[in-house]
Amino acid sequence: MTSRVFTKLLGLFVVLLVFYTVVMEFVFRSMVEQSAGGTLRLLGREALWSGLIALAVALPVAAWVAGGISARIDRVVAFARRIADGDLSARLTLTGKDELSAMEAALNQTVERLGQNFAEIESRRQELAAMLDSMQEAVVAITPEGLVRWSNAVMQRIAGTQIRPGRPLVHSVRDPEVLACVRGALERDPGHSSEHTQVRFGRASSLAPGRIFEINAAPLPSGGVLVVLHDVTAIEAAEKSRRDFIANVSHELRTPLTSIQGYVETLVEDPHPRPDTTREFLGIILKNATRMNRLTEDLLALAGVESPDYRLALQPTRASALVQDAIDALGGIVVDSEVELESAGAPDSIVMADPDAMNQVFGNLIENALKYAKAGRRIRVGARLLDAEVEFSVQDFGPGIASEHLGRIFERFYRIDKARSRESGGTGLGLAIVKHIVMAHGGRIWAESELGKGAAFHFTLPLAPGVQPPLAPRL
């Protein structure tokens, strides 16, 4: 394109020379016609005037052409500056079909392509940011100088407003394990390339109260470190629960097994035991075997209700029928205990419930109340209607439960009075089973108690879909 412009300017110069030649030819011809024997002085004067006339014509023409080209170049320079400042919406106005116009069109196409590329890059950046923010792990990028380059939303929630780009990591995160992993990942071994730099692993327990994180700090090819924090609090809690469960089961089984082993060894070592002693020992062995059998059954029941595959056979059932069925089915177990099982009334509202599972719930709650109700001589079972659910209750009038135990009595193997519970044959799993069954129904369960006045266990079941609560007074 430059050669073409040069050719064009050269052609313009040639045109000017031709014009000058034509003017000179005209002047000399007139001179010859007027005076064939004119003097040299007159010839010089005429030549000077003709040169001045040609120059007077050529200068404006050249100035006009140069001014147009200069203005267009100035527009190109201003356009380039706008692009350098980040204004990709700038465009050059095409004023003709010459070579400069072709250059302007090419520049417009280049800027349009740049705009498309930057828009695609920004879109991908936003997608990456959204993906990082949607992760469950906390992610933060660190520069080689130890400054925060960027962080995702999870990391910002953990560290709060203290972590922001450009701020030193040590001012935002005080956990020593995190800082140690970052320092280790930033260190470069002079004898190895960056590909051989090892990823640093660690475990942070002071980054957030009550939470534990696994640390993964990996060096970045461009310098700096990418830190990923994986929250393993739930995994740690599950592992601790598993260890505690195994320890509790082992303890619960060891006690009856030790008793059975001791009495069996006594009978084996005595070649002629007395019949009454043998009968007594066999009774103790049977009691402990029965306890082990109950523990095994409760463990299987608890494993069933805690399983993700646990399914209920829900069906519309009257609340009053659930209460009455529980009293009729469990009335026999209180006959010999001199405790009265009575109804506190229940509405006829329809709830969604599994009748077999509800029998298990009422059975565990009434059996639990029976252990402490002998002082009060009665157990009361009832229900009342709430806005969108029915609240059931099993109340005894025994010694009650201290407030410090109310928040933990639904835990596995938790006992208020361990000696009394084992003596009565309890396994410590009944209330945990009840809790899981009620929650599987979509209900809630809790306990209320006042020392010396007994305890009450309450749970709720949702009303059946489409059933409107009556406006009658609640029981």
Confidence of residue 155 (pLDDT cuts 50, 70, 90): confident
| pLDDT higher than 80, residue 71 | no
Q: How far apart, in whole angstroms, are the C-alpha atoms of residue 317 and residue 329?
A: 17
Q: How far apart, in whole angstroms, are the C-alpha atoms of residue 172 and residue 464?
A: 52
Report how far apart, in Å, the C-alpha atoms of 268 and of each of 264, 271, 273 are: 6, 7, 9
CB atoms within 10 A of CB 3: 8
- Burial class, 96, CB count within 10 angstroms (exposed 0-12 / middle 13-18 / buried 19+): exposed
* pLDDT at position 336: 67
pTM of the entire predicted model: 0.54
| pLDDT higher than 90, residue 390 | yes
Q: How far apart, in whole angstroms, are the C-alpha atoms of residue 444 and residue 430?
A: 16
Q: How far apart, in whole angstroms, are the C-alpha atoms of residue 225 and residue 155?
A: 15
Share of the chain above pLDDT 70, in %: 77
CB atoms within 10 A of CB 102: 14
Q: How far apart, in whole angstroms, are the C-alpha atoms of residue 62 and residue 69?
A: 11
Share of the chain above pLDDT 90, in %: 8
* pLDDT at position 475: 43
Provide the 3-class DSSP secondary structure of residue 284: helix
* pLDDT at position 42: 64
Provide the 3-class DSSP secondary structure of residue 389: strand
Asked if 175 and 186 count as a contact pair (C-beta separation under 8 A), the reply is no
Please report, in angstroms and rounded to a whole number, the separation of the first and last CA atoms in the chain: 98
How does DSSP classify residue 69? H
Q: Which of 350-364, 400-414, 431-445 has the lowest mean pLDDT?
A: 400-414
Residues 97-115: what's their mean pLDDT? 79
* pLDDT at position 328: 85
Which segments of 85-138 does DSSP mark as H helices, in order?
99-134
Provide the 3-class DSSP secondary structure of residue 41: helix
Q: How far apart, in whole angstroms, are the C-alpha atoms of residue 358 and residue 392?
A: 11
Report how far apart, in Å, the C-alpha atoms of 464 and of each of 218, 322, 469 are: 54, 14, 10
Q: How far apart, in whole angstroms, are the C-alpha atoms of residue 397 and residue 342?
A: 12
| pLDDT higher than 60, residue 425 | no
Q: How far apart, in whole angstroms, are the C-alpha atoms of residue 108 and residue 88?
A: 10
Provide the 3-class DSSP secondary structure of residue 147: strand
Q: How far apart, in whole angstroms, are the C-alpha atoms of residue 372 and residue 351?
A: 30
Q: How far apart, in whole angstroms, are the C-alpha atoms of residue 150 and residue 224?
A: 12
| Residue closest to 373 by CA, chosen among 330, 321, 408, 322 | 330
DSSP string for residues in 432-465: HHHHHHHHHTT--EEEEE-TTS-EEEEEEEEBPT
**Single-letter amino acid, residue 350:** I
Question: What confidence tens digit (pLDDT) does each residue in 8-19 have?
Answer: 655 666 666 667
Average pLDDT, the chain: 78
Confidence of residue 59 (pLDDT cuts 50, 70, 90): low
Q: How far apart, in whole angstroms, are the C-alpha atoms of residue 28 and residue 336?
A: 152
Give percent helix, percent strand, percent coil of the chain, each to the nearest 5: 55, 15, 30
Question: What confidence tens digit (pLDDT) does each residue in 126-148 have?
Answer: 787 777 777 778 888 899 888 88
Q: How far apart, in whole angstroms, are the C-alpha atoms of residue 397 and residue 394?
A: 10
* pLDDT at position 459: 94
Per the structure block, which two tokens stand in for 177?
């394990």
Which segments of 148-274 does DSSP mark as H helices, in order?
153-159, 169-172, 176-186, 233-269
Give strand ranges (E) for 355-431: 378-385, 389-396
